[in-house]
Chain A
């Protein structure tokens, strides 16, 4: 009998709050051979088979804490070589720049910016739209991807954000959403996937995305 391969998912903890729900959701869908670790140790991240970069709060603090904790080299290394998933502010941190907090330079893995919806955000008919964009919205899958497996097109996911990403390279857009304008909510390139919504708060379709990530070999 051949030995079953054990695998580890590292959830990066850089001091920006609630990782409980991310870890619990991953554990909920993980099989017996998968271990979920919440870690701020670069060595643990380097040794993991898969890496998840969460994010809540303000972008300046997120990026600042990633650098302060000495995690940026490990994040870049993981993005270069293994299945990597970024969520919420995590997707924004992978862009070149965000206009939040008077402008913050980010990790520049995806060329493009994170922009503010604006406090006077409107629907196309001129009616007022609330900001943050908070609640369940439909995600249109722009490409076929292993992380969309068994998730219906236009499934609803839970969002809470006031900034949205605008990638320069449209071929990297993996999913879009509509809220006064059509905007990118999922990015994919090689072994990196990033989403604006919260899979851990998006019930069965969110859990399915995490399950897909746990089984993903990093190939598009």
Chain B
């Protein structure tokens, strides 16, 4: 009896379609976001994350409509991230039916934005997304740094210290993506997941690198994550959410079945 760990399928949405860049090269089309969200809802997903990766702001209106459509048909929590830069962006997404918003780059460039957002909307709906890369060499003490621009630009910020600062500023949850692992299917970076999960009192979602169900189990048991996020293993029918949950239950993890 107790709180269940969560499985969160992630929809990377570009120009109104769910896509997944496999190894950052070919972008594979995985369908209509509303249909995909409904399928995961039926399969027992614990939450859904909608990541707007559309570059141009012209398509922001499309995202709002899509979030509205998902929120009127899917009755589990919905997080929307990508391009959230102002309180007005947050207000629009919450009004459209999002329960939480993910703030990423804007937090790096303007940490006060996180504080302002948490004060205005409550920490419960502010997820700070952290993209981390390992920067320590083999044999050195582990060290991870925050990167922006899809992992291309270093910031000099230590990932664990940054996570602590973001929680202090009001983040209600941390979405941690390993940029070394994202798209590789080699499993989460368990070191950074555990380091951050143990350093903060808010829930941590592990992301980046899931290639099989054992990786999800490891994220919780070894990485101490409160939730695990994956995209491609679910999008292309390799595994269903039910199979993933059963695998975690078999490993002794408390899940909602």
Q: Which residues of A approach B to under 8 Å, CB–CB?
A: 17-18, 20-21, 24-25, 28, 56-58, 119-121, 123, 128-138, 154, 156, 158-162, 178-179, 198, 200-204, 206-207
Whether the pair A135, B75 counts as a contact (CB closer than 8 A) is: no
A residues in contact with B256, CB < 8 Å: 136, 156
B1-12 CB mask vs A (1 if < 8 Å, else 0) is: 111111000000
B residues in contact with A162, CB < 8 Å: 123-124
Whole-angstrom distance between the alpha carbons of A206 and B1 in the complex?
19
Whole-angstrom distance between the alpha carbons of A158 and B75 in the complex?
10
Given contacts A18-B97, A134-B203, A200-B75, 6 further A-B contacts (CB under 8 A): A21-B97, A130-B201, A130-B203, A134-B226, A135-B3, A206-B75
Q: Which of A24, A57, A132, A135 contacts B46 (CB 8 A)?
A: A135
Q: Which of A24, A58, A128 contacts B71 (CB 8 A)?
A: A24
Whether the pair B97, A135 counts as a contact (CB closer than 8 A) is: no
A residues in contact with B123, CB < 8 Å: 132, 162
Whether the pair B2, A178 counts as a contact (CB closer than 8 A) is: yes
Distance (whole angstroms) from the CB of B230 to the closest CB of chain A: 17
Q: Which residues of B approach A to under 8 Å, CB–CB?
A: 1-6, 41, 46, 68, 71-72, 75-77, 94-99, 121-125, 172-173, 198, 201-203, 226-227, 256
Whole-angstrom distance between the alpha carbons of A153 and B218 in the complex?
31
Distance (whole angstroms) from the CB of A167 to the closest CB of chain B: 21
Residue of A nearest to B257 (CB): A156
Q: Which of A57, A154, A158, A204 contacts B77 (CB 8 A)?
A: A158
Contact of A24 with B1 at beta-carbon distance under 8 Å, contacts A135-B6, A135-B227, A136-B6 already known: no
Contact of A57 with B121 at beta-carbon distance under 8 Å, contacts A130-B202, A134-B173, A138-B1 already known: yes
A residues in contact with B76, CB < 8 Å: 158, 201-203
Whole-angstrom distance between the alpha carbons of A204 and B68 in the complex?
20
Whether the pair A137, B41 counts as a contact (CB closer than 8 A) is: no
Q: Which of A136, A198, A202 contacts B4 (CB 8 A)?
A: A136
Distance (whole angstroms) from the CB of A109 to the closest CB of chain B: 23
* Interface of A (DSSP majority class): mixed
Distance (whole angstroms) from the CB of A117 to the closest CB of chain B: 10
Whether the pair B75, A202 counts as a contact (CB closer than 8 A) is: yes
**A–B pairs, 11, beta carbons within 8 Å:** A20-B96, A56-B125, A130-B202, A130-B226, A134-B203, A154-B1, A178-B1, A179-B2, A203-B75, A203-B76, A206-B75
A residues in contact with B172, CB < 8 Å: 132, 134, 160
Distance (whole angstroms) from the CB of A90 to the closest CB of chain B: 14
Whole-angstrom distance between the alpha carbons of A25 and B41 in the complex?
14
Whether the pair A136, B121 counts as a contact (CB closer than 8 A) is: no
Distance (whole angstroms) from the CB of B175 to the closest CB of chain A: 13
For the complex of A and B, the 6 pairs showing the least CB-CB separation, nearest first, are: A57-B122, A136-B256, A20-B97, A24-B72, A156-B256, A136-B4
Whether the pair A21, B71 counts as a contact (CB closer than 8 A) is: yes
Whether the pair B75, A132 counts as a contact (CB closer than 8 A) is: no
Distance (whole angstroms) from the CB of B70 to the closest CB of chain A: 10
Whether the pair A137, B96 counts as a contact (CB closer than 8 A) is: no
B residues in contact with A178, CB < 8 Å: 1-2
Whole-angstrom distance between the alpha carbons of A178 and B3 in the complex?
8
Contact of A138 with B75 at beta-carbon distance under 8 Å, contacts A57-B122, A58-B122 already known: no
Distance (whole angstroms) from the CB of A108 to the closest CB of chain B: 23
Residue of A nearest to B41 (CB): A203
A residues in contact with B226, CB < 8 Å: 130, 134-135
Whether the pair A119, B201 counts as a contact (CB closer than 8 A) is: yes
Distance (whole angstroms) from the CB of B12 to the closest CB of chain A: 22
